[in-house]
Structure 1
Amino acid sequence: MNNQKPILLIEDDQVDFLALKRCFEELNVQNPLVQAMDGEDAMSYLKDPANEKPFLILLDINMPKLNGLELLNIIKYDRKFKNIPVIILSTSSNKKDIDECFGFSVAGFFNKEMDYETYKKTIKTIIDYWMLSKNAN
């Protein structure tokens, strides 16, 4: 990526986290990957001044406590965090979920693929895009 800031993955499913971590390793992504288990955990990370502001947020929608849509509402209306690009990685194909996410100006919405190689290609596409993109962070 174009910097070495962390990527914040907000994902409550450890299998999904490990699959993404494996993708990052195989794609040689150098940015640290930080996991938050839910929206509350993510907000704790973001608000902690000891933590570096993430370059990118990868967000699941369906999570306990503070879900992805609730977290988006907080992030996108907070001046400290609103410019962090948020990419949705979800099992949901529900049009309402997709529309709500884009209503919060997410940078993209992608389905988690069941096939690992297809999932890895999706992650590679996201990474390749952000390697070339300038950002406000």
Structure 2
Amino acid sequence: MNDNTDKFDPLFINLVLTLHNAAMLQMGKLKNPASDKIERDMSQAEMSIDMLDMLKNKSEGNLTDEEKSILSRTLNELKMNFMDEKAKDEKSDSEEKTEEKSEEEPDKEETEKEESATGEDETDEIKEGKKE
């Protein structure tokens, strides 16, 4: 049985690292080697992280200390990066909404200038009318 354990140790670690790299690519933390571009797919990244979480739960009690450590550190790193990327998304979404709102509402100073210019024109017309 020890033979299988020795054989599976590197395979398990390789699986963990493969899912780690997939999640990092999906979060846009690494350039996709196939397209040579940064690509983001947060739902796929979340799925990769969830798969590692499931692997951790299902293999509990069957891992060596080294495997547990690698899996825990990997999950912690990915979850922190995921939260960081989600926070960036929320920040950019709120900035976009602020920009959209400011585009929809006319600038207060511009509105005041337009009103005062219109008011001056009307005042001039009234004065001219009184002079006639």
Report the TM-score when normalising by structure 1: 0.25
Bigger Cα Rg: 2
Q: Which has the higher helix share?
A: 2
